[in-house]
Amino acid sequence: MSGLTHIGPDGRARMVDVGDKDVTERVALAHGRVHMQPETIQLAIGRDTKKGDPIAIAELAGIMAAKRTSDLIPLCHPLPLSSVKVEIQPDSRANALIVTARVKTSGRTGVEMEALTAVSAACLTLYDMLKAVDKAMRIDGVELLEKTGGKSGDYRKAGT
């Protein structure tokens, strides 16, 4: 018994059967951050135009990526999402932009991967938008903060 649900008793990868699970409301919250030079943060947040804003573009990329999760992660179930929110905030002390994603569904399996995928895509998009001035940015701390709904019980990151 491997304990890995995506591996069957015969050792094969599978999209695990969730047909017997209840349709319940499931929520997942994840975050991550992109470390960068203080000047890069200022460039990212200091724009005085409504258009071409790296932060708004990265938030949108995160939302769109959440919808593509089952295309990217081989054994993820396709799920009809009922809500996706992505929020990017500067953390000046940490010299980072913090990305948070909250995803909801009414379905038979959780949306942890959708929340983590949204965070990752938003971080990658920040990198892409800002790389002309700073190639040494680093994506760190992408992790699940909280998940609710479903039989396996709720999860909350230790210390939060």
**Site residues (CB under 8 A) for a copy of itself, limited to 135-154:** 135-144, 147
Identify the residue among 96, 99, 111, 113 touching a copy of itself (CB under 8 A).
113
Give whichever of 41 and 54 is closer to a copy of itself, judged by the CB atom.
54
Q: Is 146 annotated as a binding residue?
A: no
Q: Is 31 annotated as a binding residue?
A: no
Identify the residue among 38, 42, 75, 94 touching a copy of itself (CB under 8 A).
75
Residue 133, number of CB atoms within 10 A of its CB: 13
For residue 82, give the 3-state DSSP assignment.
strand
Residues forming beta bridges with residue 104, ordered by sequence position: 27, 83
Give whichever of 43 and 98 is closer to a copy of itself, judged by the CB atom.
43
* Buried residues in 36-62 as b, exposed as e (16+ CB within 10 A): beeebbebbeeeeeeeebbbebbbebb
Q: Which of residues 1-60 bind a copy of itself (CB under 8 A)?
A: 2-8, 10-19, 25, 32, 43, 47, 49-57, 59-60
| Span between the terminal Cα atoms of the chain, in Å | 32
- The residue count of the chain comes to 160
Residue of 17, 22, 71, 128 marked catalytic:
128
Active site residue 134: no
| Residues recognised as catalytic | 128
Residues in binding site for substrate: 75-77, 113-114
